[in-house]
Structure 1
Amino acid sequence: MATEHCDAVNMDPDMEMLSDEEMEREAEGFKEQGNAFYIKKDYAEAFNYYTKAIDMCPKNASYYGNRAATLMMLCRYREALEDSQQAVRLDNSFTKGHLREGKCHLSLGNAMAASRCFQRVLEMESDNSQAQQELKNAESILEYERMAEIGFEKRDFRMVVFCMDRALESATACHRFKILKAECLALLGRYPEAQSVASDILRMDSTNADALYVRGLCLYYEDCIDKAVQFFVQALRMAPDHDKARLACRNAKALKAKKEEGNKSFKEGNFEAAYELYSEALTIDPNNIKTNAKLYCNRATVGSKLKKLEQAIEDCTKAIKLDETYIKAYLRRAQCYMDTEQYEEAVRDYEKVYQTEKTKEHKHLLKNAQLELKKSKRKDYYKVLGVDKNATEDEIKKAYRKRALLHHPDRHSGASPEVQKEEEKKFKEVGEAFSVLSDPKKKSRYDSGQDLEDDGMNMGDFDANNIFKAFFGGPGGFSFEASGPGNFFFQFG
């Protein structure tokens, strides 16, 4: 490398009278001191002495190269890049200068620019193993960038995070890669990790619009919409053409407004309107998992009011799929299961709730569901008689009369053996139902879920004919006379 004469810049007045040779000696002395501090890993002091050397001889490429190396050790890659570029401007054959420029570009994520620098080194030294390895690293980063772009388009955010992690192994100071990783972490619901990455960048650069956007995105997805909007607005101040921040800001405001409209309609008892408003809100941003989970649960609540119970169950299931910790959705779905007599499913949901939050209320709900499940597995005597659970004594008697006559074996004496057997079974069930529901004590025990056989009432030994005879006034009080299949007449005494 050709020797450069020193042109003093911002020189101390006492130094102005020094000759070029004396200035070069002074500069070399500063450089040697810088080297000593560099060896000791005192990079801050090394930087100071290399700077003094540059001030003495601002056209010496090696001084810029040395200071660039120090700045790289201090992770100040942008400044190191400037010094490396200045070094090769002063001496285009300065191999180390080109190599350091490439490394700075690589650390900052400029893989194409880095490749050009390493190729330049290899043109000068074809066997330079360091340049060969760094060129491979640059090519790997370009490939990871390509894969990440495809992954983002396919909404395969885990793939993007993987690619960015690999790229950041070489591009350690690339804010662009870190921001893309943070954005995908937010889209995956890994908000603390995303916040951490964005906050690290903002500590170094408080005006970084991308980092502000990601901070806002995390708050937005955690349903802190007002705070999120503040970050989006701040990002747009830093970068008015930031399309993602503008879209997120618009979505956040629209989502909040639509949700509040739905809540207002619900409170006013306008359930149809609330249902439509929650449905509209759900179309705004499919990525907002937490808010959408709440919207599905809200719509389920409205759906249950509108007797759309199956739809309400489906909405609760969607809410739980989005947020498996959403207790309110489990409770709402369990109630819908109770209302549709799907007691096993209700018990399962209430068990999940009680395992998570062991409150007295949740314990009571679980016990009640378990009781209803137990009751559902017995014969439903109300269903056998075709009456409501609040049926009066007269209604129960009328129902028994109708069903007993309908299924009495004598009425089906001309039917096939299979039909006779089935009707006899139904006749017995009708008698059982009447014997329980017409007796206040038995009915009370039955309604409370007690097992009647545990109370000494062996329904297996029950004789339905005795009930029938007693109800219709004993022997001779009632008779069937068949005159062919399906033809009969009643005779009352």
Structure 2
Amino acid sequence: MIADHQKTKGNSTLVRASSSNVMLFGNLGNLRQSGGGGGGNNDSYIFLDYLPQPAREVNQMPNGKYPNSVMENVVEKPFEDQKPSAEQPGGSLCRALSTRMDPEQLKIMGNEDYKNGNFAEALAFYDAAISIDPNKASYRSNKSAALTALGRLLEAVFECREAIRIEPHYHRAHHRLANLYLRLGDGEKAIYQYKHSGPEADHVEIAKAKGLQVHLNKCTEARRQRDWNALIKETQAAISSGTDSAPPIYALQADALIKLHRHQEADEALTKAPNFQDDECTKYFGPICNANLLMVRTQVDMAVGRFDDALAAAQRATRLDSNNKEANMVMRKARAVAAARSTGNQLFKAAKFYEASNAYGEGLEHDPYNSVLLCNRAACRSKLGQYEKAVEDCNVALNVRPNYSKARLRRADCYAKLEKWEASIQDYEILHKEAPDDDEVSEGLLEAKAQQHKKHRGRDMKNQMKHVMHTFCIVI
């Protein structure tokens, strides 16, 4: 595209924008340009950032320059004499800012983007202002707000801390940090920051933080007593109180659910947790805490059959806390279960169903409630004609994962082979609601219903014959 444009425009010059994109220098849309001709004395720099909105015109100083420099590593080039281009697509114009702009003006422009919901653009402006004046607390605090809006809470905490370091009595920054601590599940720090937020403080928010700390204390006690139901209740109460972005609380809940063999719910609990990067979690929560989070992740991934993910999480956990006995135990368990699944699959493909069943059984010795190994062993037992045992394996798998459709389909087929048509139809109907276009399910359901109808008709015929014979005997 650039080559084609160069052919048509001749000697157009390419400039690298701040977003690492490359554009034609002379095609800046509605940027106000000073001076005429291509070789003027205007020595301004440019800072380009593609945005889904028309560019703002920036008011220049009387001499055509700006008071400060915004970014490093920009290209020095005089503005060329060019009118605004009508060729640029609507809604895709670029914004051009002079790099000699006052950082306060950048902050104002960032605030405008923030109010309009353009949080990534606002963040870019705040970063530009910080690059000029890194010791201005308001820039850091505003950057924290933009990061929070983008879901980057851990980074937002560090920016708020920096704002408070620069200006210890900055009430707005204290209040923002308190809100972040509340969402991240640190009640004591949230209370402390609320108390230092001056007029920004709200007694309702302080009460909420105190309530959170009560729930956290109860979580600690429930875990100590191994009261998993109480732990689930208290973690849910903490989440409902405003702690919606605390990985340790979601991990506690998932761990309790795993202990109660409610694997599907454990997976759902971790799905609701924020997806922070490992490095960020380690930096904020510390390596030991993050290792514990990864251990829970390992167990959940393994329980629902994500064996590769489980191994990767276990390896990261042991790297973070190599002396943690529990982490090493989880690692050994994950390796054993993954190896059993792999061996069993190879044997099943080779039609060695008895050996495959034993391989899956060896894995179940390490993890007796692993739904994937149970379902795979059920497949082997079905091939061997052990339909009752296959149903038993499917029952256990569905108890821990009620939505495990593969286990339900296998059980429906085994019920059919046992001529338990009513039970087979019940499973097939559940599957049909989940996947109405699945041909295998539809065919199985029709066949089961046909067989049930045939069975009922035969039973009715038999009853009628008995009645006729009984009547005939009475007449005689």
TM-score (norm 1): 0.50
Residue identity matched to 1:67:
R
Confirm or deny that 1:36 pairs with 2:108.
Answer: yes
Relative to structure 1, the CA distance from residue 154 to residue 373 in structure 2 (aligned partners, 3 Å threshold; closer, same or farther) is: farther
**Pick aligned residue for 1:350 from 424, 430, 438:** 424
- Secondary structure at the residue paired with 1:71? helix
Relative to structure 1, the CA distance from residue 101 to residue 299 in structure 2 (aligned partners, 3 Å threshold; closer, same or farther) is: same
Conserved? CA contact 2:218–2:234, under 8 Å: yes
**Pick aligned residue for 2:236 from 158, 162, 165:** 162
Residue in 1 aligned with 2:472? Answer: 461
Conserved? CA contact 1:72–1:80, under 8 Å: yes
Relative to structure 1, the CA distance from residue 450 to residue 363 in structure 2 (aligned partners, 3 Å threshold; closer, same or farther) is: farther
Q: CA deviation at 1:140?
A: 2.4
| Aligned-partner Cα distance in 1 for 2:183–2:361 | 47
Conserved? CA contact 2:235–2:249, under 8 Å: no
Residue identity matched to 1:139:
K
Residue in 1 aligned with 2:145? Answer: 72
Residue identity matched to 2:239:
D
Confirm or deny that 1:228 pairs with 2:310.
Answer: yes
- Of the two structures, which has the highest relative contact order with CA contacts closer than 8 Å and spacing of 6 or more? 2
Show the 5 A alignment for 1:211-250.
Answer: 216-240=298-322, 246-250=328-332
Residue identity matched to 1:461:
F
| Aligned-partner Cα distance in 1 for 2:193–2:268 | 34
Residue in 2 aligned with 1:200? Answer: 275
Confirm or deny that 1:118 pairs with 2:194.
Answer: yes
1:246-296 alpha-carbon deviations (Å, 9 max, x no partner):
44432233335556788969977879x968x87665453355344345556
Relative to structure 1, the CA distance from residue 373 to residue 35 in structure 2 (aligned partners, 3 Å threshold; closer, same or farther) is: closer
Residue in 1 aligned with 2:133? Answer: 53
Relative to structure 1, the CA distance from residue 51 to residue 287 in structure 2 (aligned partners, 3 Å threshold; closer, same or farther) is: farther
Residue in 2 aligned with 1:132? Answer: 203
Q: CA deviation at 1:230?
A: 3.5
| Aligned-partner Cα distance in 1 for 2:215–2:176 | 22
Conserved? CA contact 1:30–1:53, under 8 Å: no
Confirm or deny that 1:109 pairs with 2:185.
Answer: yes
Residue identity matched to 2:144:
L
Residue identity matched to 2:182:
L
| Aligned-partner Cα distance in 2 for 1:283–1:180 | 25
Residue in 1 aligned with 2:264? Answer: 189
Confirm or deny that 1:176 pairs with 2:283.
Answer: no
Conserved? CA contact 1:185–1:191, under 8 Å: yes
Q: CA deviation at 1:138?
A: 2.0
Relative to structure 1, the CA distance from residue 240 to residue 199 in structure 2 (aligned partners, 3 Å threshold; closer, same or farther) is: farther
Show the 5 A alignment for 1:318-337.
Answer: 318-324=396-402, 325=405, 326-336=408-418
Q: CA deviation at 1:334?
A: 4.9
Relative to structure 1, the CA distance from residue 268 to residue 294 in structure 2 (aligned partners, 3 Å threshold; closer, same or farther) is: closer
Residue in 2 aligned with 1:445? Answer: none
Aligned residues: 339
- Secondary structure at the residue paired with 1:201? coil
Relative to structure 1, the CA distance from residue 160 to residue 299 in structure 2 (aligned partners, 3 Å threshold; closer, same or farther) is: farther
Residue in 2 aligned with 1:393? Answer: none
Confirm or deny that 1:251 pairs with 2:326.
Answer: no
| Aligned-partner Cα distance in 2 for 1:202–1:350 | 45
Relative to structure 1, the CA distance from residue 78 to residue 274 in structure 2 (aligned partners, 3 Å threshold; closer, same or farther) is: closer
Conserved? CA contact 1:331–1:349, under 8 Å: no
Q: CA deviation at 1:77?
A: 5.1
Where does structure 2 lack aligned partners over 5 or more consecutive residues? Answer: 1-67, 70-100, 115-121, 283-289, 433-439
| Aligned-partner Cα distance in 2 for 1:37–1:284 | 59
Q: Percent identity?
A: 17
Q: CA deviation at 1:349?
A: 1.8
Residue identity matched to 1:115:
I
Q: CA deviation at 1:348?
A: 0.9
Conserved? CA contact 1:259–1:281, under 8 Å: yes
- Secondary structure at the residue paired with 2:276? helix
1:367-389 alpha-carbon deviations (Å, 9 max, x no partner):
556555666x58xxxxxxxxxxx
Residue in 2 aligned with 1:395? Answer: none
Relative to structure 1, the CA distance from residue 79 to residue 65 in structure 2 (aligned partners, 3 Å threshold; closer, same or farther) is: farther
| Aligned-partner Cα distance in 2 for 1:130–1:100 | 10
Conserved? CA contact 2:157–2:177, under 8 Å: yes
Relative to structure 1, the CA distance from residue 52 to residue 303 in structure 2 (aligned partners, 3 Å threshold; closer, same or farther) is: same
Residue identity matched to 1:250:
R
Give the structure with the higher percent helix.
1
Query: Which structure has the larger Rg over C-alpha atoms?
Result: 1
Residue in 2 aligned with 1:418? Answer: none
TM-score (norm 2): 0.52
Residue in 1 aligned with 2:214? Answer: 143
Conserved? CA contact 2:219–2:234, under 8 Å: yes
Residue identity matched to 2:192:
R
Residue identity matched to 1:331:
D
Q: CA deviation at 1:139?
A: 1.3
- Secondary structure at the residue paired with 2:144? helix
| Aligned-partner Cα distance in 2 for 1:364–1:93 | 75
Relative to structure 1, the CA distance from residue 364 to residue 99 in structure 2 (aligned partners, 3 Å threshold; closer, same or farther) is: closer
Residue identity matched to 2:366:
I
CA-based RMSD of the aligned residues comes to: 5.2
